[in-house]
Amino acid sequence: MSSTSQHIPTHMPTHTPTHMRAMLLTGFGSTDKLQYRDDVPVPTPGPHQVLIEVGACGVNNTDVWTREGAYGASEEAGWQGSAFTFPRIQGMDAVGRIVALGQGVPPERLGQRVMVNPTLYAPVAGPASLFQATYLGSEFDGGFAQYLCLPDSNAHAVNSPLSDAELATFMTSYMTAQHMLNRAQLAAGETLLVPGASGGVGSALVQLARIRGARVAVIIGQDKAPALQGLDVAAVMFRGEPDLAGQLQQQLGRASVDVVADLVAGEQVPQLLELLCDGGRYVTAGAIAGAMVTLDWRKIYLKHLSILGATMGSQAESLQIVDYVERGLLKPLLSATYALKDLVQAQQDFKTRKHFGKLVITI
């Protein structure tokens, strides 16, 4: 996927420029490590790769944490804790059109509108394919640029009236959420609790759980509550509420839930575990409020609880998200859009967590 690839594509339109606008991450650190350039070589697709002209790309926690060097035991690692190469173009949730094809890609793919699955799966069978995966914007260049090159299997054709910016609100967050719910085996009629429901994955969990026929309770800041209208939430509790069990009892008629899907972590984890029914499941895919947690371990075995980790998702789960989008089952929660040159401002705004849903870069 390097821009210096020497493979000759089978279909490269003559109008494709040789250089492009892109935001380069030049090192680990603050936003001063992001450099806007207009002279970055356009990548050339190799065998079984496609070149996408990017229309929009969503902003994610992963972009910020990767830039800050938050993965791995040292500050010299990407998503998987492996060595990181600079400069790097970040951006996972790319949406656009295929404008060039590498060798072996069917010609009918040229011109297709696509949503990108940013998970580059390892060429091994079974779960290891996901465990050993690499990611756009971390190990390979991503979508904060005019053009993006990746395997054609990761570019999913989509037929939708939604704008590129609206489509860019879905893939990473919703695929992560779908994987969380699959790990927890959330079923129709069960009750799910989502702390931090205003974020990209949190709001995705709400919508995907409702598609399954589950009831959803959320914990959210009071200022974010109006944005929940239309998402069919059964119970709303506010951050800092001292008696969550009492609120559940009052709003749902029961003081416990079957599943907690959490990306917040931090000091609230013991309280969340108390809200699980006997045999309940706690699934996590993040630690926004802090990675270190102190627990009364007896609660785990005395209540027969399951604690599950989840990261990203499978190819099948990404295709399920595209299917839901095409069927109109998901509502895009687009909070704001920014120009590519304003990515620094977008990441700064993202860290304030005052938005509901997704921030998106339009290219």
The structural domain count of the chain equals 2
DSSP 3-state assignment of 144?
coil
Closest to 347 in 3D by CA, of 65, 20, 87: 65
Same domain, 252 and 339: no
Q: Is the pTM of this model over 0.85?
A: yes
Domain identity same for 221 and 159: no
Q: Count the Cβ atoms, other than its own, within 10 Å of residue 189.
A: 9
Q: Tell me, what's the pLDDT at 3?
A: 39
Query: CA 258 to CA 132: how far, in whole Å?
Result: 30
Give the pLDDT of residue 45: 97
Residues of the domain holding 45: 19-169+332-362
Q: Mind giving me the DSSP string for 202-267?
A: HHHHHHHHHHTT-EEEEEE-GGGGGGGTTS--SEEEETT-S-HHHHHHHHHS-S-EEEEEES--GG
Q: How far apart are the first and last CA of the chain?
A: 20
| 165 shares a domain with 43 | yes
Contact indicator for 54, 148 with CB cutoff of 8 Å: yes
Together in a domain, 100 and 132:
yes
Inside any domain, residue 122: yes
Residues 140 and 51 both lie in one domain: yes
Asked whether residue 57 is domain-assigned, the answer is yes
Residue 229 within a domain: yes
* Other residues' Cβ atoms within 10 Å of the Cβ of residue 30: 12
Please tell me whether residues 177 and 259 are part of one structural domain: yes
Alpha-carbon dihedral angle through residues 355, 194, 177, 167, given to the nearest 10 degrees: -30
Same domain (yes/no): 27, 159 = yes
Residue 138 is assigned to a structural domain of this protein: yes
Is 258 in the same domain as 294?
A: yes
**Contact in structure between 285 and 309 (CB atoms under 8 Å):** yes
Whether residue 9 lies inside any domain: the answer is no
Q: Are 256 and 277 in contact (CB under 8 A)?
A: yes
The CATH number of residue 51's host domain is: 3.90.180.10
CATH no. for residue 233?
Answer: 3.40.50.720
Instruction: Say whether both 214 and 257 belong to one domain.
Output: yes
8 belongs to a structural domain:
no
Q: Work out the number of other CB atoms within 10 angstroms of the CB of residue 149.
A: 23
Q: Looking at the structure, do residues 267 and 357 belong to the same domain, yes or no?
A: no
Both 75 and 34 in one domain: the answer is yes
Q: In this structure, is residue 10 part of a structural domain?
A: no
Regarding whether 144 and 203 lie in a shared domain, the answer is no
Give dist(CA 227, CA 221) in Å, integer.
Answer: 11
Residue 2 inside a domain? The answer is no
Burial class (CB in 10 A: 0-12, 13-18, 19+), 363: buried
Sign, Cα dihedral of 253, 255, 260, 262: positive
What distance in Å separates the CA atoms of residue 123 and residue 74, rounded to the nearest whole number?
A: 27
Q: Is 57 helix (H, G, I), strand (E, B) or coil?
A: strand
H-state helical runs in the chain: 61-67, 128-131, 164-167, 171-184, 200-211, 244-252, 269-274, 298-302, 315-326, 343-352
Q: What is the pLDDT along the chain (363 residues), one digit of tens a residue?
A: 433 333 444 555 557 899 999 999 999 999 999 999 999 999 999 999 999 999 999 999 889 988 988 775 444 555 555 567 899 999 999 999 999 999 999 999 999 999 999 999 988 877 778 888 889 998 899 999 999 999 999 999 999 999 999 999 999 999 999 999 999 999 999 999 999 888 889 999 999 999 999 999 999 888 888 878 788 999 999 988 889 999 999 999 999 999 999 998 888 899 999 999 999 999 999 888 888 889 999 999 999 999 999 988 999 999 999 999 999 999 999 999 999 999 999 999 998 888 888 999 999
Beta bridge partners of 230: none
